[in-house]
Amino acid sequence: MLSTAGPAASHSLIVASKPFANLNHNIPRFLGFRQFSPDCSCSGSVSFGWNSGSKRKFNRSRMEGFAVRASAQPLKNADELIDSVETFIFDCDGVIWKGDKLIDGVPETLDMLRSKGKRLVFVTNNSTKSRKQYGKKFETLGLNVTEEEIFASSFAAAAYLKSIDFPKEKKIYVIGEEGILKELELAGYQYLGGPDDGGKKIELKPGFLMEHDEDVGAVVVGFDRYFNYYKVQYGTLCIRENPGCLFIATNRDAVTHLTDAQEWAGGGSMVGALCGSTQREPLVVGKPSTFMMDYLANKFGIQKSQICMVGDRLDTDILFGQNGGCKTLLVLSGVTSLSTLQSPKNTIQPDFYTNKISDFLSLKAATV
């Protein structure tokens, strides 16, 4: 076991901003805090980092001044939307596939967009696979997608830790599956937990004290089919008792598509358990956090106004696009129904909506 390098205080997370007296008003939405004031008057940037002398800054001005959008319009002229953007970012579950079943018309649609010179990027909140593993899934479904075009929240967790110069001598406790472990390993980080802790049980005897690794500097929580009480307690101890320990969530999705037959409890249920036990809110790296959007824009040199986000969820995909300043297209092939979109209770309105992405083909033909 490695010993902690330096005093514990030197590994605390720094947030260089205004005081925390008005936490919900001063922290940008990409940190995952659900309460956020759209008329926030704060300005400047917020910087994150471990005490290593290196901090990364994120501009939060784009997180301010959100206005209620006009009702979404049905997509009628596909060519007009296609010609107006350079890059299409697609969610995967509910847009490209459901479970392990490809949605009709996807291969032809992607081929058409590539033929028109469009950059395609695939972003998923599902952290169970690494980018390489997702590449194999695309291949199995007959889709030609490179690893460089895939951004999963498992990768986002590792990328975020690198962006704040998380110390390599610290460890990461993972409540999640193999995808997170593989991405952390590729990034050069030490980890424990994951599927290996899925079979562990706690025998509650009088006076029993559960030990935990004091070198854990971050707990990463994602979707976990092997979730159990051992993991809840271990993660809780690390977050509450290890000085400066980060609480990172890959996403807070309420439901997910494990099969095409029904919706299943999503990663948000695992994250919620840790929120309850630690009384802490996580830093969210997946959608609708803007971390992945910022990463993509910087990596490819894309202007966000030249991006169209295509997804099936209002509170993750569409909000992700809106938070990033992109055009947005909702498809009704996944979670969101037309009645949900048009409900008076719904305040998230995409620019356009359509049934599925293959409508790009039929609507294109209709305008010729």
User: What was the pLDDT predicted at 359?
Assistant: 96
Q: How does pLDDT run across 151-161, given as a tens digit for each residue?
A: 999 999 999 99
Q: Which two tokens stand for residue 292?
A: 């992945």
**Active-site residue (options: 64, 86, 178, 214):** 86
- The per-residue b/e assignment along 53-62, b for 16 or more CB within 10 angstroms, e otherwise, is eebeebebeb
Average pLDDT over residues 184-199: 97
Mean residue pLDDT of the chain comes to 84
Tens of pLDDT, residues 27-39: 333 343 333 333 3
Question: Would you state the pLDDT for residue 279?
Answer: 97
For the chain, which domains are there? 73-125+288-361 (3.40.50.1000), 154-284 (3.40.50.1000)
pLDDT 10s digits, 247-293: 999 999 988 877 778 888 999 999 999 999 999 999 999 999 999 99
The one-letter amino acid code at 278 reads T
Report the pLDDT value the prediction gives residue 28, as an integer from 0 to 100.
37
pLDDT of residue 103 exceeding 90: yes
CB atoms inside a 10 Å sphere around CB 225 = 12
Instruction: Supply 144's token pair.
Output: 């030609």
pLDDT tens for residues 154-184?
Answer: 999 999 999 999 999 999 999 999 999 999 9
What pLDDT does 366 receive? 55
Residue with the bigger pLDDT between 42 and 359: it is 359
- Tell the residue number behind the tokens 């018309």, with chain if given: 105
Tell me what pLDDT residue 68 has. 52
pLDDT at 44 exceeding the cut of 70: no
pTM here?
0.78
Segment among 100-104, 193-197, 212-216 with least mean pLDDT: 100-104
- Can 86 be counted among the known catalytic residues? yes
pLDDT of 21 over the 80 cut: no
- Quick one: pLDDT at residue 1? 43
Q: Are 30 and 56 in contact (CB under 8 A)?
A: no
| pLDDT grade for 116, boundaries at 50, 70 and 90 | very high
- Whether the predicted pLDDT of 323 surpasses 50: yes
Q: What is the pLDDT averaged over residues 299-314? A: 94
> Can you say whether the dihedral through the CA atoms of 333, 334, 335, 341 is positive or negative?
negative
Which of 11 and 222 is assigned the larger pLDDT?
A: 222
